Structure 1
Amino acid sequence: MRGTLLFDGRCGFCTRSRDLLARVDRHHRVETVPYQHPGTPDRYGLTEQQLARAVWWIDEAGTPRASAAEAANYALSAALGTTLPLRFYRLPGIRWLQEALYRWVSNNRQRLPGTTPWCEREPGTCG
């Protein structure tokens, strides 16, 4: 499984999470793109509001497949080369729990520890 994870490149916590994903992705199965990259919303048929609310998993065909915790599980599954994270996510009750936790993190991400946001670190990659 391969794909693209769209993330908030102006968020230090999001960039830190992206960097962690890149470290476990030893076979380079996951491309990461800040949603602020010019043309990204139009390319995938998503709105800026959808992209600002949650990460998105784009499958190999370029189709938006999932958002929020489910997207994170797709990305982790691809990075690790196993479907275990996705299978765990789909267990009864786990989806609800992970989505609730994702919403809390998303709403508080500016208060969580991060790093230099991608858009500051990689000038010219964000609009």
Structure 2
Amino acid sequence: MRYQIIYDGNCNLCSSLVQVLAQFDQGQRFTYSPMQDEETLVKWGITSQDCELGMILIDTEYPQRRWQGSEAAEEISRLFPGGEALIGVYRGIPGVKVMGDRLYEQIRNHRYQWLGQRETLYWCSGDQGCSSSSSELGQAK
């Protein structure tokens, strides 16, 4: 299966995580688009308000299957070797998932203040490499 990851290309943390994920995945499962790319948002029926809730993971074979925010992070983790067991434990221990969800929300809501904002938009296709470019597409929500 192939998945589309929509991430905040203006966020230092988000861009760094996408870069690590792209290096690890080597274009096998994931393609990537910044949420500042209007063409991608239109293609998948995503609004800028949707983007305010965090990164989005879409199953490209069944686009109605999507995950957002901490659920997307969990699903991405689950797709890697050993990830299913790890996420099973994470979800199975009472209170841990709730704490993880709250942590994701705090990071999402304060990512620019805590970790900075990129001066250039970060683009990563996964199979064709990653790069920074001038952000003419606007700022992330």
CA distance in 2, matches of 1:27, 1:48: 26
Task: Compute the RMSD of aligned alpha carbons.
Answer: 2.8
**Letter aligned with residue 10 of structure 2:** R
Q: CA contact under 8 A between 2:53 and 2:68: conserved in structure 1?
A: no
Does structure 1 retain, via aligned residues, the 8 Å contact 2:8–2:35? Answer: yes
SS in 2 for 1:90: helix
For 2:21, the equivalent position in structure 1 comes to 21
The residue that corresponds to 2:126 in the other structure is none
Deviation at 1:84, TM superposition (A): 3.1
Q: Distance in 2 between matches of 1:20 and 1:123?
A: 21
Residues 1:124 and 1:104: Cα distance change in structure 2 (over 3 Å): closer
- Computing the radius of gyration over CA atoms, which structure comes out larger, 1 or 2? 2
Structure 1: gaps spanning 5 or more residues: none
Is the 1:3–1:57 contact (alpha carbons within 8 Å) kept by the matching residues of 2?
A: yes
TM-score by length of 2: 0.72
Task: Compare the two structures and name the one with the higher helix fraction.
Answer: 1
| Equivalent of residue 100 in structure 1, options 80, 99, 102 | 102
- Comparing 96-105 and 56-65, the one that deviates more: 56-65
Q: CA deviation at 1:99?
A: 0.7
Aligned to 1:41: 41
The Cα shift of 1:39 comes to 1.8
Question: Shift of the alpha carbon at 1:67?
Answer: 0.5
Show the 5 A alignment for 1:24-103. 24-26=24-26, 28-61=28-61, 62-78=63-79, 80-81=80-81, 82-91=83-92, 92-103=94-105
Query: What residue number does 2:122 align with?
Result: 118
Unaligned stretches of 5+ in structure 2? 124-130
Residue identity (%): 25
Aligned residues: 126
Task: Identify the structure with the greater strand proportion.
Answer: 2
